[in-house]
Chain A
Amino acid sequence: MPVDFQPKIIGFLCNWCSYAGADMAGTSRITYPSNIRIIRVPCSGRIDPLFIAKCFTEGADGVFIAGCHPGDCHYIEGNYYARRRFALMGDLIEYLGIEKERYQVRWVSASEGKKFSQIISAFTDKLAALGPRIKG
C-alpha cells in the first residue's frame, strides 16, 4: 500500500443536524482531514442504502453517514427507519467482504461540530491504515 495513501471518503449528511454540525465545525474553525466529500440530503431517511453499495462499487474507500440523534429527527421518524436500513446494508457489505470499518453511521447534532471533526479524523485514520479498498 502506498505510503501517503489518501482514502477517498463519501459522506451523506442530513441537512438539519449533521450537515449543520459539519458547518458548526467550520464556523468554529476546527480542522480535520480533508479526505471526506460531503453530499447533502434532507434526512438520513432519504439515503437509499444502495447508495452505500454504489459508492463502494465506484471505488470509494469509505462511506460515512450521519443523521439527527434518535428522537431529534427534523422529520420525526426518518432516522429510526434509516437505522434499520443501515444495519442491514452493513451486514450485507461486510458479508461481501468489505471491512465493516469502511462504513460508519453516526448521530451528529447541529451543535456537535467538535464531535463531527473528531469522528471524521478517527474514521480517516482508520481508513488510511486499512489501505485502498480495491487492492493492487
Chain B
Amino acid sequence: MMDKNIVKQIRDKAKELLSNGTIKCVLGYETGTDGMNARPAFIYEPEDVDRLIFDNTCTHNLSTYLRDKRENPVAIVVKPCDARAINVLLGERQIEREKVFIIGIVCQEVVQVSWGELSHDAQMRCKICNQHTPVIYDFLIGGPVDESAPKAEPPANVTAMEGKSSGDKVDFWSGQFSKCVRCYACRAVCMGCYCTVCFVDMLDPEWVGIKIATPENQMWNTIRAFHLSGRCIGCGECARVCPVNIPLDLLNMKMEKEVGEHFEFVSGLSSEEPAPLASFLKDESLGIGE
C-alpha cells in the first residue's frame, strides 16, 4: 500500500532540487520489474521524478550508493535506519554533509520482500524498532509519530542462539558457512564495507585462505562481523541479498547488542560521538584482564 501524500512530497522535492540545480541526482525508489516490490532508482532529470515511489517494500538501504562521489551533490531518500547509516558514514569521514541532501521519511515498518510475491508481514527488525523518525534529515516527510515506543530489546533469535551449547552453535554455523560461496554480495550491498582492498582479498598477509571451505568461510564472516561491530545499523541488507540465505544479520545484531551492553553505544545515532573502538573509559573492566 502506498501513501499518495508521501510520494507526492518526495516527487515535488526531487523536482525542485533537480530543477534549481542543487543536486545532480536523486537516490530513491521506484517500482521493480515484478510490478509490486520497490527497487532503487537513480533520477537525474526533473521529468523523471514521477518514477519515484515510497511504500513498505522500500527495504533497500540506499546510503550504500553515497560512496560513489560522481553523483555528488546528491539527494537521498532515507528511512530512519538508513539515516543512521548516513551518520556512520559522516562519522567515518566518508561523505561530506553539504554534498548530500537528505529526504527523511517517517517509517513504521517495511515488509519482507521477495521477487514476484507481495508480503504483508513486517520484517523482524521493524518489529523491535523504536526509531520511526530519521535522526538526521534536511527535509522530513510524514510524522509526527509517537516515539515513546518501548526500548528495543535484543532480537529473540540472537538470545536464542546465545542460549545454545557450544556444540550446537558450531553445528549451526558450520552448517551455514558450508553454504557460503564467497560471492561477497553481503559486502557489496553493505554501506559499511567500503575498503579499497578488503581483508579477504589480501593474499599476503593471508587473513583468509583462498580455498572455499567452511573454516575459511567462517574466518571471512568473522572478519565481516567484527569489522562491522559498532558500525552496523541493522538494515539487514546482507542477509537479504545472500543467495544461499545465510542469516548474516544474526551475527551483526549480536555484535550491536554487545556494543550496546559494553559501551552503551548505538550505531549511527550521531556522527559526533567517538566510535566505540576508538574510545575507552579508564575504569571499565568488561570482564577482560582480571
Contacts and interface: CB of A to CB of B under 8 A. Distances in A.
B223 A53 contact: yes
A105 B288 contact: yes
Interface string B217-237: 011001101100110000000
A80 B280 contact: yes
Given A50-B207, A84-B280, A88-B277, A57 B216 contact: yes
B215 A57 contact: yes
B207 A84 contact: no
Interface in B168-223: 168-173, 199, 207, 215-216, 218-219, 222-223
Interface in B119-165: 161-162, 164
Given A54-B219, A57-B215, A105-B288, A91 B169 contact: no
Interface stretch (A4-12, A19-27, A29-37, A95-103): A95-103
B251 to A, nearest CB: 7
Interface stretch (B62-70, B87-95, B98-106, B255-263): B255-263
B288 A87 contact: yes
Contacts of A49: 226
Contact of B173 (A67, A87, A96, A99): A96
B280 to A, nearest CB: 4
Given A50-B207, A96-B169, A70 B222 contact: no
B216 to A, nearest CB: 7
Contact of A50 (B170, B226, B255): B226
A88 B289 contact: no
B166 A53 contact: no
A63 to B, nearest CB: 13
Contacts of B167: 97
B262 A57 contact: no
Contacts of B2: none
A85 B289 CA distance: 12
Contacts of A81: 277-278, 280
A83 interface: yes
A77 B219 CA distance: 29
B254 interface: yes
B282 A71 contact: yes
B21 interface: no
Nearest to A66: B289
11 contacts: A49-B226, A53-B226, A57-B219, A77-B280, A83-B280, A83-B286, A84-B286, A92-B226, A92-B229, A97-B167, A107-B290
Interface of B: 161-162, 164, 166-173, 199, 207, 215-216, 218-219, 222-223, 225-226, 229-230, 251, 254-255, 258-259, 262-263, 276-278, 280-282, 284, 286-290
Given A83-B280, A95-B161, A97-B173, 16 more contacts: A53-B226, A54-B207, A54-B219, A57-B215, A67-B289, A80-B280, A84-B262, A84-B286, A88-B230, A92-B222, A92-B229, A92-B255, A95-B254, A96-B170, A96-B173, A97-B169
